Every structure is written in C-alpha cells, then in structure tokens.
C-alpha cells in the first residue's frame, strides 16, 4: 500500500514538473524563472490535550516555483508547489505526515550587490492538494482535517546569489525561511509550518 502511494506521488511530481516547464515555455520573455529546492519543515502543533511526550521532528520535502511575470519592476508573481512533511514520535510509535500544497506567490527582488546578491521577501497563498498521515499501521487522508486544509498564508524571507551567463539566462543559489499559517482554521488545533529552504534558480 505504501509503495503504491509512493508511485502515485512520483507520478504527481512528474506531472507538476511537466506543467511548470510548460508554463515556463509559455511565459518565456516575460521575466520567467524556474526555482527548485528542498524544504526542511518542522511542525509547530498546539492542542490542549497534547501529550508532553509527543515529539515532532523536521522532515525534508521538495518545492517548486515558477515566476511567470512582473506586476511592477522587481515585483514578480508565479505558481508554487510545496511538500511540508514531518515525523512524530510518541513512546514506541512513529507518525509520519506527507503533504502537497499548491498556490501562488508575490515576490519582491531587492538587489544588494550589483544585482549579484538579492534579498527576496515574498508571500505565498497555498492550499492542500493532497496529504497522508501514516500511524499505527494505518493510512489517513488529511483532506478532511481542518488544521491542514483551508487557506494558508506563507510569508518568507530569502537571499539569492546569482551569476549571469548572458543577457537572458542566469543561475542562482538561495536560502529562504518561511512560516506558513492557516488563515481559515477556527478549531482548537493549531498548526504552523516552519521551513528552511535551499534552492537553485534558473532565470530565462
């Protein structure tokens, strides 16, 4: 069963990659860029009856962003995909959460050093596309859990170093820190995603 889920997730990632490449080609010449990297996410979970012995550990996932245009000079927008994953432990039992979020972003690029070093504050709006919880030998769908679903607001701050290969193509490496908050959850369960991101960015 787990293997089948992994295969489905791989297929979904491939479809997402294809969609982003397609959008990149469609938007070529309109300040297009493609950014891919790793999310190392920790969950900040709050609930009145939470056991103090319950431990939550960070877990890696991937993220993809494609910039598809500019609203104003240095203010760009695009589409994004994130995996916010985590592992939990309670005594001898292990819990695992694998999630897939999709949405869009608005980002401002502030040059610091001759357009080589760039500060990249941004905000993303995300929603759960799919998610699974693995615990006690069972698999649970997160699509009906209000602490995971709804509308998420994800402010982030990053820094990017890029090298220009021509007037049209550049390559950059970056680091971001983001905090994702559920803006529509009104239950007693509170969940926040804290993510450290390492990325590679291709400007077209």
The average confidence (pLDDT) of the chain is: 85
- Residue located via tokens 């493609």: 34
Q: Strands, E, within the chain: which ranges?
A: 33-46, 55-72, 75-82, 85-90, 93-108, 110-113, 117-119, 122-135, 138-141, 151-164, 170-182, 190-203
CA distance 149 to 185: 8
Domains and CATH numbers, the chain: 2-203 (2.40.160.20)
Q: What is the pLDDT of residues 65-107, one digit of tens each?
A: 999 999 999 999 999 999 999 998 877 778 899 999 999 999 9
Question: How distant is the alpha carbon of residue 43 from its chain centre?
Answer: 13
Q: What is the pLDDT of residues 4-52, one digit of tens each?
A: 444 554 555 555 545 544 544 444 445 689 999 999 999 998 876 655 5
* Cα 25-21-11 angle, rounded to 5 deg: 155
Confidence of residue 113 (pLDDT cuts 50, 70, 90): confident
Question: Model's pTM, two decimal places?
Answer: 0.82
Coil vs helix vs strand at 202: strand
CA distance 155 to 176: 10
């Amino acid at each position: 069963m787990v293997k089948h889920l992994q295969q489905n997730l791989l297929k979904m990632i491939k479809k997402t990659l294809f969609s982003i490449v397609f959008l990149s080609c469609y938007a070529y010449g309109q300040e297009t860029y493609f950014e891919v990297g790793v999310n190392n996410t920790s969950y900040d979970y709050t609930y009145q009856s939470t056991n103090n012995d319950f431990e939550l550990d960070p877990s890696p996932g991937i993220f993809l962003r494609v910039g598809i245009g500019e609203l104003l000079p240095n203010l760009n927008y695009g589409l994004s995909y994130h995996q916010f994953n985590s592992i939990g432990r309670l005594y001898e039992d292990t819990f695992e959460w694998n999630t897939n979020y999709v949405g869009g972003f608005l980002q401002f690029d502030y040059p610091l050093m001759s357009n080589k070093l760039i500060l990249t504050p941004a905000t993303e709006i995300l929603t759960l596309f799919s998610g699974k919880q693995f615990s006690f030998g069972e698999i649970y769908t997160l699509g009906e859990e209000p602490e995971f679903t709804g509308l998420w607001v994800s402010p982030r701050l990053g820094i990017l170093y890029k090298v220009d290969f021509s007037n049209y193509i550049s390559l950059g490496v970056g680091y971001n820190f983001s905090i994702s908050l559920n803006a529509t959850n009104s239950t007693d369960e509170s969940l926040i995603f804290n993510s450290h991101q390492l990325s590679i960015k291709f400007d077209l």
